[in-house]
Amino acid sequence: MARKYHISFLILVAVMLLISGCSTEQANSSAELTTGLSKDEINNEAFKDLFPLQYNSYMKNEEEEDTKYGGSVKRSKYDPDKEPYLPILFNGYGFATEYNEDRGHVYANQDVRDIARITDKSIGSCLTCKSSAVPHMIEEMGDDYWGGNFNKDIWPKAEEMGHSAIGCSDCHDPETMDLRITRPSFIKAMESQGLDVSNPTKNEMRSFVCGQCHVEYYFAPENGEVTFPWAEGFKPEEMYEYYDTIAKDTGFEQDWIHTVSGTPILKAQHPEFETHMEGPHGKADVSCSDCHMPYERADGKKKITSHWWTSPLKTMEESCATCHSNRDIEELEERVGDIQDTHMKALHKAEDVSITAHYYINKMITSGVDEAKIKQAQEHVRKGQWMWDIVAAENGAGFHNPQGGMDTLRISEVESNAAILIATEELVKKGVSLEELNKEIEKVKKAVTGEKDNFKKKEHAINSYFPTQQPAPKK
């Protein structure tokens, strides 16, 4: 009887295969599902009807909400409850003119277009992590993209191509929706460490797609190409070593000369990827997406990956509790808060020491201190500000790597204090009143924070007591 049923089942399967016209080859090809979209599709709207739940989740990035140490509201970082001393620390550079809190990714094109830091001298590289047209522009234009004039050439071309803000095609292949790397700078930077990203695991890709843009970078002097300083490693001190050796050897020495101290300064960007990779979650192979794109129930039913890129503090049940199931949510939130509060206190302390160091060096210059001593102090303040800024520019408020962040801020303080010590010894020899000097520094800080017009705050960082030390622009 069993044999009879077995033969009947085989016959039934054979008939079904004949009716469906299925073969092994066809079965395999049918598994390779495609969206029907062009491989060159870059407009987010094209994905809307195919993936409505994910698209609706992505559009939540339009929401603007302030948080204790960040948020997505378009506010100036110079505001009194934010970072009011930035116009001093970035004096002489575009970040002292306008520097705002980050809004949702959907606003990327609008915000880069409106920011006062974009001028007629800005280059194509400034658009690299903002527009979905960039991968095709790089492919089509080559090096002409990186160094192309932003206002005259690059932006109009992106508009003509029908680009969108950071979105679907930046992370997904439009045909298959497989995760992919679209920015060549990331691949080059990983290769500089001897890391092959040609065949990553799915979990690795869940961090790599974020690591294309949430990183520290600079513009290569020869062509303006976006370049990551990773050859020595991801740690702040390793990236600083890169800047002092490899970058200098290829012609990049600084982002700008500081107006107050005349120091060649490096401007850190947003090194979330590097900070995470060196932190406890990164070391445990937790991906960026595990925390910032947790699974959620869309329409109360279907399970999807959230495309609302926000703080896990807003989605703790879906993100944190997935792994920390043995901890109470309120307890976890309190723990995160303690980490961030401690971190921000240390950040502001290092910031204050860096400011003092800049003004002490200014007084060294105007008092006629030996140039060798001035240069020695400048080297310390350069490293001190870098170690502060690489932490300040990172958007996790210390949580991505709590111990690493505190260690880096400690180095910042040590370096800035070393500059102050050198200056103090030399200024005392010159008969300079340190009491008067410190009072003048406090006056400047009050003038900067007291200015209501954010665009004018930078003007109060220098005065007759602390004259500018930035060289005149080349004609």
Long-range contacts of 140-148 (CB under 8 A, 24+ apart): 143/223, 143/225, 146/219, 146/220, 146/223, 146/224, 146/225, 146/226, 147/123, 147/223, 147/224, 148/123, 148/124
Contact between 116 and 68 (Cβ < 8 Å): no
Give the model confidence (pLDDT) of 235-274 as tens digits. 999 999 999 999 999 999 999 999 999 999 999 999 999 9
Of the candidates 269, 356, 270, 349, the residue with the CA atom closest to the CA atom of residue 89: 356
Q: Provide φ and ψ at 84, rounded to 5°.
A: -70, -15
pLDDT band at 23 (very low <50, low <70, confident <90, very high): very low
Residue 155 has pLDDT above 90, yes or no: yes
Of the candidates 200, 204, 215, the residue with the CA atom closest to the CA atom of residue 290: 204
pLDDT band at 14 (very low <50, low <70, confident <90, very high): very low
Give the model confidence (pLDDT) of 307-333 as tens digits. 999 998 888 888 888 889 888 888 988
Residue 18 has pLDDT above 60, yes or no: no
Q: Work out whether the CA dihedral 393, 94, 257, 120 comes out positive or negative.
A: positive
SS3 333: helix
pLDDT band at 17 (very low <50, low <70, confident <90, very high): very low
Least confident of 82-96, 263-277, 284-298: 284-298
Question: Would you state the pLDDT for residue 32?
Answer: 59
Contact between 167 and 44 (Cβ < 8 Å): yes
Residue 344: its H or E element: helix 329-366
Residue 7 has pLDDT above 80, yes or no: no
Give the model confidence (pLDDT) of 363-393 as tens digits. 999 999 999 999 999 999 999 999 999 999 9
Residues 413-429, mean pLDDT to the nearest whole number: 98
Question: Would you state the pLDDT for residue 65?
Answer: 87
Question: Would you state the pLDDT for residue 255?
Answer: 97
Residue 7: its H or E element: helix 2-20
Identity at 372, one-letter amino acid code: A
Q: Residue 371: CB partners within 8 Å, gap ≥ 6?
A: none
Residues 96-105, mean pLDDT to the nearest whole number: 93
Question: Would you state the pLDDT for residue 316?
Answer: 87
Q: In this prediction, what percent of the chain has a pLDDT beyond 70?
A: 92
Question: Would you state the pLDDT for residue 159?
Answer: 97
**383 or 9, higher pLDDT:** 383
Contact between 262 and 361 (Cβ < 8 Å): yes
Residue count of the chain, please give it: 475
Strand pairing partners for 257?
264
Contact between 369 and 270 (Cβ < 8 Å): no
Put simply, whether the predicted model's pTM sits higher than 0.85 gets the answer yes
Question: Would you state the pLDDT for residue 66?
Answer: 83
Residues 456-466, mean pLDDT to the nearest whole number: 97
pLDDT band at 11 (very low <50, low <70, confident <90, very high): very low
Residues 351-367, mean pLDDT to the nearest whole number: 98
User: In 301-458, where do the E strands start and end?
Assistant: 302-305
Question: Would you state the pLDDT for residue 475?
Answer: 54
CA 46/CA 42 separation, integer angstroms:
8
CA 449/CA 442 separation, integer angstroms:
11
Residues 414-442, mean pLDDT to the nearest whole number: 98
Residue 22 has pLDDT above 80, yes or no: no
Least confident of 65-69, 197-201, 372-376, 470-474: 470-474
Question: Would you state the pLDDT for residue 237?
Answer: 97
CA 324/CA 297 separation, integer angstroms:
20
Contact between 274 and 390 (Cβ < 8 Å): no
Most distant CA atoms of the chain, gap in Å: 111
Residue 101 has pLDDT above 70, yes or no: yes
Q: Provide φ and ψ at 264, rounded to 5°.
A: -70, 115
On average, the pLDDT of the chain sits at: 90
Question: Would you state the pLDDT for residue 29?
Answer: 34
CA 242/CA 223 separation, integer angstroms:
19
Question: Would you state the pLDDT for residue 298?
Answer: 82
Question: Would you state the pLDDT for residue 474?
Answer: 63
Q: Residue 111: CB partners within 8 Å, gap ≥ 6?
A: 74, 100, 103, 130
Contact between 67 and 102 (Cβ < 8 Å): no
Give the model confidence (pLDDT) of 400-409 as tens digits. 999 999 999 9
Give the model confidence (pLDDT) of 135-146 as tens digits. 999 999 999 999
Copy the structure tokens of residue 385.
């500000």
Give the model confidence (pLDDT) of 108-134 as tens digits. 999 999 999 999 999 999 999 999 999
Residues 226-239, mean pLDDT to the nearest whole number: 97
Copy the structure tokens of residue 282.
């990164």
Q: In this prediction, what percent of the chain has a pLDDT beyond 90?
A: 81
Question: Would you state the pLDDT for residue 321?
Answer: 84
- Give CA separation, 302 vs 53, 297, 374, in Å: 9, 5, 64
- Give CA separation, 311 vs 63, 72, 280, in Å: 13, 10, 17
CA 238/CA 269 separation, integer angstroms:
15
